[in-house]
Amino acid sequence: MSRRVRFLFSIAAAIAAASLLAASLRRRAQPPRLPDQLVPGPMAARNRSFVLWLHGLGDSGPANEPIRTFFAAPEFRHTKWAFPSAPNSPVSCNNGAVMPSWFDIHELPLSPGSPQDESGVLKAVENVHAMIDREVAGGIHPDNIFVCGFSQGGALTLASVLLYPKTLGGGAVFSGWVPFGSSVIERISPEARKTPILWSHGIADQVVLFEAGQAGPPFLQSAGISCEFKAYPDLGHSIAKEELSSLEAWIKGRLKASQDKQS
């Protein structure tokens, strides 16, 4: 098999996985129960929360919106959700074909030693920070802001929370990887080092290899950052319902702690 065919096969597998994820979420989701409208006023602003979800390569924000139907607990009544779409960009591992992509990916499957598009990642981080800044300016406390992402979106989630100057409620990485080298550690502020990370990865992942996910916690520990790592046997490059249930409980606990601290 030629290198070009291997590239096209790999990226096709990644896009297929993203499409299956979106279809699976639509099948599992009950009729959408949208969050209540945000109520203006100082008390509502203090108790509001914000979840930003970043999709994977070749996917879109709207295709991931059914995810929020898994978060039906009362703690999410005043949660604002955002599912932005990545810009269309040429992707190296697809021979330069244009598709929704937060930054460039040089090869698939991704392993701990894969080359990284660090400059592209940092540019994408600026856009994510602008989204977070708008919510903070609108009255949402940083402790109540959570950034989550799958695959390429998971890698961008990690970069965004580590480089944000304030402590956020948390960052949740699903089937992601560390998208830059250790030189970035010196750029992580003391406040950002307090942001907790939840990392979930399927052991059977053949797109972002499990070893790439395993490299995350040691990287974070070297920066003094807390990380809860969860491995899912037999799970490939997709998100399981169990992962979303774990995320719901994880965010709920941090929302309660944040609100107790602010009251």
d(CA 179, CA 102): 12
What is the C-alpha to C-alpha distance for residues 225 and 258, in angstroms, rounded to an integer?
18
Token pair for 255? 């929302």
CA-nearest of 134, 161, 146, 131 to 223 is 161
Cβ-count burial 137-154 (b if 16+ within 10 Å, e if not): eeebbbbbbbbbbbbbbb
Distance CA 208, CA 202 (A): 9
What type of residue is 160? S
Domain 50-262 has CATH 3.40.50.1820: yes
Strands (E), the chain: 49-54, 79-82, 88-91, 97-100, 145-150, 170-174, 197-202, 227-232
Q: pLDDT by residue (tens digit) across 86-112?
A: 999 999 999 999 999 999 999 999 999
Structural contact between residues 75 and 257, judged by C-beta atoms closer than 8 angstroms = no
Q: Are 75 and 47 in contact (CB under 8 A)?
A: no
What are the tokens at 112? 């701990």
pLDDT at 114: 97
Strands 88-91 and 79-82, by their bridges, are: unpaired
Is residue 197 within 8 Å of 227, Cβ to Cβ? yes
- Which residues are catalytic, by number? 151, 205, 237
Write down the pTM of the prediction: 0.84
When pLDDT is averaged across residues 150-179 and rounded to a whole number, the result is 98
The answer to whether residue 220 scores a pLDDT higher than 60 is: yes
Rounded mean pLDDT of 158-171?
98
Domains of the chain, residue spans: 50-262
- For residue 240, the Cα-to-chain-centroid distance in whole angstroms is 15
1-60 pLDDT, tens per residue?
444 434 333 444 444 444 445 444 444 443 333 333 333 344 444 449 999 999 999 999
The mean pLDDT of 210-221, rounded to a whole number, is 98
**Measured in Å, how far apart are the chain's first and last C-alpha atoms?**
62
Are 93 and 107 contacting, i.e. CB atoms less than 8 angstroms apart?
yes
pLDDT tens profile 64-83: 999 999 999 999 999 999 99
